[in-house]
Amino acid sequence: MRLIGMLDSPYVRRVAISLAHLGVPFEHESVSVFSTFEKFRGINPVVKAPSLVCDDGEVLMDSSLILQFIEAAKGNGNSLWSPNPGVLQHEIRAVGLALAACEKTVQIVYERNLRPASAQYEPWVERVRGQLLAAYAGLEREVQARRSAFAQARSQASITTAVAWQFTQSLLAPVVPAKDYPALVELSARMERTPEFLKYPPDGPGV
Ligand SMILES: N[C@@H](CCC(=O)N[C@@H](CS)C(=O)NCC(=O)O)C(=O)O
C-alpha cells in the first residue's frame, strides 16, 4: 500500500501515525497537492491528500475512511478505538472536533494564501474563525474531562487531537493562543515525543 500526501497535512499525518500504531506496513510518498499537483493528479485525479493506493491499485481517499478500511482489512483485530460504546462516543466526539478544527484551519489558510487580498471576504473568515475557536474550546474541555483516556497514546482520539493541535499552532498560533488551552498543550507535547509522532514529523511546504 502507498500513502500519498505530505505530512504537513494533518489528515495525512494522522493516517501515517495510525498505521504505525497498528503495525500496518506501507510506503509513504511525499507528493504535494500544490507544488506537485500534476504528479498527484496522475495518482488520483481528485487530488485529495491523503490518498491510499491499495495493493490492487484501487485508490481510496479521506483519512477517516482510509482508517476505517485499514482497521477492517489490515488491522488483525487491532483498533485505535475503544470497544466500550460509552467511551467510543466520547472518542468520536473528540475526533469530530479535531477534524472540524483541521478543516477550519485549512479554510482560513486557503482564504489567506490562495485568494488575492482584494477578493478576501472578511465576514466569511470571521465565521470560520468562530467555528475554529468553538472546536478547540470543545476539545480542551474533552481533554480536561477525560485525562486518563487521553493519557493513552495508542488511541485515535489522542492521535487526531494532538495532530490537529500541532497543525493549527504551526499556521494560526495567534488566532488560537496556546495559553488558553493548557490540556491541549500538554497532550501535544507528550504525543510529539512518542516514536510514532517522531517517525512522521509534520514536514512539508504548507497545505
Ligand atoms: N476530509 C478529508 C480532508 C482532506 C483534505 O482536505 N486534504 C487537503 C490537504 S490538507 C487537500 O487535499 N487539499 C487539496 C484540495 O482540497 O484541493 C480527509 O479527512 O482526508
pTM of the model: 0.97
Inform me whether the pLDDT recorded for 32 exceeds 70.
yes
- Could you give the dihedral angle defined by the CA atoms of residues 172, 173, 178 and 179, in that order, rounded to the nearest 10 degrees? -120
* 103 pLDDT above the threshold of 70: yes
Nearest to 146 by CA among 101, 197, 86, 196: 86
Q: For residue 192, give every residue at least 6 positions away whose Cβ sits within 8 Å of its Cβ, in sequence order, or none.
A: 162, 166, 198
In 3-state terms, what secondary structure has residue 19? helix
- CA-nearest residue, atom 10 of ligand 1: 9
Angle, CA 21 vertex, CA 43 and CA 149 arms, to 5° = 125
* pLDDT the model gives residue 183: 98
The type of residue at 77 is: G
Evaluate whether 205 touches 8 at the Cβ level (below 8 Å): yes
Q: Where are the alpha helices (DSSP H) in the chain?
A: 10-22, 37-43, 63-74, 85-114, 122-145, 147-150, 156-172, 182-192, 195-199
- Any idea which residue has 491541549 for its cell? 184
Is residue 107 in contact with ligand 1, taking CB distance under 6 Å? no
Is the C-beta atom of 157 inside 6 A of ligand 1? no
Residue 182 has pLDDT above 80, yes or no: yes
In short, whether 106's Cβ falls inside 6 Å of ligand 1 is yes
Q: Quote the CA–CA distance of 142 and 150 in Å, as a whole number.
A: 9
Q: What is the pLDDT of residue 206?
A: 66
Q: How confident is the model at residue 207 (pLDDT cuts 50, 70, 90)?
A: low
**pLDDT tens digits for range 48-91:** 999 999 999 999 999 999 999 999 999 999 999 999 999 999 99
Domain boundaries defined on the chain: 2-79, 85-194
CATH fold, domain 2-79, is: Glutaredoxin (3.40.30)
Q: 41-51 burial, b for 16+ CB within 10 Å, e for fewer? A: eebbeebbbbb
Query: What's the CATH class of domain 85-194?
Result: mainly alpha
